[in-house]
Amino acid sequence: MKLFIDSANIEEIKKANTLGVLDGVTTNPSLLSKEKQEPVAQLKKICKEVDGPVSAEVIALGSDEIVGEAKKLSKLSSNIVIKIPSTVEGLKATKKLSSLNIKTNLTLCFSASQALLVAKVGATYVSPFVGRLDDISFEGMDLIRDIKLIYERYEIKTQIIVASIRHPLHFLDAARIGADVATVPFAVIEKLMQHPLTDIGIKRFLEDWNNLKGK
Ligand code: E4P
């Protein structure tokens, strides 16, 4: 499973990149607004920092406007992927962008029927949001299972990005189900390698080693 970082913060992206496990970045308007920088300049910086795909979201809602904005954003860097809401207008725009070989990530996906339709218009990625479904007492991971089943049944090439990840178990479940990508906030990435028994084990090994030195 590929690991993307869900962040627009350069320091977080740099730190995650040094781990050697980072495959890409997803941003959204809320994440970019937290950075208090001009968003296009920030996106350019992010694209320079990583080799993998960087999702940049359109603000436009009408299909023609989405296509216009996507064309501009795609010129920022060769690794830009255009993030588009999973709406009727988003579908029309994605169909057009697919014909222009512009990569897309259909975001705000909350149902398997949305995921099937975005695949039919050639979306490169679909982003179902598990955390936001959990927040309203729906099992977010059930949606990932449904989409995976449907995509396998019809040999669909659209890649599933598990988004709105809130904790390490979301990441683990995404891998168990066989999602293509998990996009993970930095705070959760940091937790993925943590284990108290690893820390206790290191402490004990060092204590035993130091006791031996006295012999
Ligand atoms: C990813 O593409 C989304 O932007 C992100 O995962 C949303 O996460 P949130 O629900 O924690 O805001």
First to last CA, the chain: 48
CATH homologous superfamily of 2-213 equals Aldolase class I (3.20.20.70)
pLDDT tens, N- to C-terminus, the chain (215 residues): 999 999 999 999 999 999 999 999 999 999 999 999 999 999 999 999 999 999 999 999 999 999 999 999 999 999 999 999 999 999 999 999 999 999 999 999 999 999 999 999 999 999 999 999 999 999 999 999 999 999 999 999 999 999 999 999 999 999 999 999 999 999 999 999 999 999 999 999 999 999 987 67
What single string gives the DSSP state of each residue in 75-124? TS-TTEEEEEESSHHHHHHHHHHHHTT--EEEEEE-SHHHHHHHHHTT-S
Per-residue burial over 37-54, b = 16 or more CB atoms within 10 Å of its CB, e = otherwise = eebeebbeebbeebebbb
- Which among 212, 165, 211 has a CA at the least distance from the CA of 190? 165
Q: How far is the CA of 214 from the centre of ligand 1 (A)?
A: 54
Q: Which of 2, 143, 164, 180 has the most ligand 1 atoms within 8 A of CB, as the residue to mutate?
A: 164
Tens of pLDDT, residues 25-52: 999 999 999 999 999 999 999 999 999 9
Mutating to test ligand 1, I would choose from 28, 58, 134, 160 the residue with most ligand atoms within 8 A of its C-beta, which is: 28
Domain boundaries along the sequence of the chain: 2-213
Tell me what the pLDDT averaged over the chain comes to: 97
Give me the residue label for tokens 């989409």.
Answer: 147
